[in-house]
A = this chain, B = another copy of it.
Amino acid sequence: MTARHHVIAIGNALVDVITSAPPEFLAERSIAKGSMRLIPAEEAETLYAAMGPGREISGGSAANTVAGMAALGARPAFVGRVAADQLGGVFAHDIRAAGVEFTTAPSAGGAPTGRCLIVVTPDGDRTMNTYLGACQELSEADLDPASVAAAEILYLEGYLWDPPAPRAAMKKAIAVARANHRKIAFTLSDVFCVEGHRADFQDLLAGHVDLMFGNEHEVCALYQTQSLDEAMAELAKHACIAVVTRSSQGAIVLEGGRRHIVAGEQVAKVVDSTGAGDMFAGGFMAAMIEGRSLPDCARVGCITAAEVISHYGARPEADLKALVKARLG
């Protein structure tokens, strides 16, 4: 018997390598500040060699999201590929220790565990350079259809739409979830993902997805417009709930014809913005599972996102339940 989970997420299984550097470090290497880009193994080696001392902390977008959900009391599972190496062991330990079921077998003999080289500038902005490694070796065979069928929500990471084998696994998961009348949630992940897969993402929103997360830039890129209002007008045509995050300005939830506007949380100092969107989605879905209203789901998302940007690393450090209780009851 497969245990029933509140959410089963499919995503990149990455360990973040976080360093601090001035903006010049990025400019000298023509790396766009605040961006996320995929880099091959050799470039990862070169960039790592140039980086200052690092902190290794488990990451991965959907993995961060479900780690946050577990901290809020939900029962999540995660599907993603690491290699049978030390960093793979770190990822597996950390996600399990966070309270997330993780049973995907590590790959042996292929690429090493993926890592995200993150440069944090003094303004707290993060620039991500991702070497996917073993992540790309996730395939349909790694998916347990019974687990997907039994989970309330299937959560998919747009980042993982890029490599073909994991994309096939996600497509299969979507079919299983739909056949079993489960909710499907999807995050646009990044402007470069949206630009690379615009037609696919639009198709997903039109017919497959019940809940979408994206920031202002991503939804604008999705509809090739500079106007957030235009993008939201397009999003409102779909049946799904669309949640547009706006950094410190909070979020807008589109639900059919309605808009809920929620203000952002105050943060004393943004140390490292890595994982803000991931933790917003985690807070939102955990609140949804508790049966909170959509505006309150967005409020919980803002509270949990504010926690994760107050320290290095994309996984929560404070007691998220207590934080939410103190703010919303």
Question: Which residues of A pack against B, CB within 8 Å?
Answer: 19-20, 48-49, 51-58, 67, 85-87, 90, 93-95, 97-98, 112, 313, 315, 317
Contact pick for A57, options B56, B87, B317, CB 8 Å: B56
Q: Say yes or no: A53 contacts B98, CB within 8 Å.
A: yes
**Smallest CB–CB gap between A125 and chain B, Å?**
17
Q: How far is the CA of A19 from the CA of B51 in the complex (A)?
A: 24
Please report the C-alpha to C-alpha distance between residue A70 and residue B57 in the assembled complex, in whole angstroms. 25
Give Cα A216 to B317, complex, Å: 33
Q: Which of A20, A49, A53, A97 has the most CB of B within 10 A?
A: A53
A interface majority secondary structure:
mixed
Q: Specify the chain B residue showing the minimal Cβ separation from A85.
A: B86
Instruction: Choose one: B51, B55, B86, B112; the contact of A97 (CB below 8 Å).
Output: B51
CB-defined contacts of A97 to chain B, threshold 8 Å: 19, 51-54
A54: contacting residue among B67, B90, B112, CB under 8 A: B90
Beyond the given A53-B67, A55-B56, could you list 8 further A-B residue pairs with CB under 8 A, ordered by the A residue number?
A20-B317, A48-B93, A49-B93, A51-B93, A52-B97, A54-B94, A56-B57, A56-B90
Partner of A112, one of B51, B53, B86, B112: B86
User: Given contacts A49-B93, A86-B87, A317-B20, are A57 and B55 in contact (CB under 8 A)?
Assistant: yes
* Residue from B20, B53, B93, B315 within 8 A of A58 (CB atoms): B53
- What are 21 sample pairs from A and B whose C-beta atoms fall under 8 A apart? A19-B97, A49-B93, A51-B93, A52-B97, A53-B95, A53-B97, A53-B98, A53-B315, A54-B90, A54-B93, A54-B94, A54-B97, A55-B55, A55-B57, A55-B313, A56-B56, A56-B57, A56-B90, A85-B85, A86-B86, A86-B112
Chain B residues near A55: list those with CB within 8 A: 55-57, 313
**Residue with the highest number of chain B CB atoms closer than 10 Å, among A48, A94, A98:** A94
Closest Cβ–Cβ distance, residue A137 to chain B (whole Å): 18
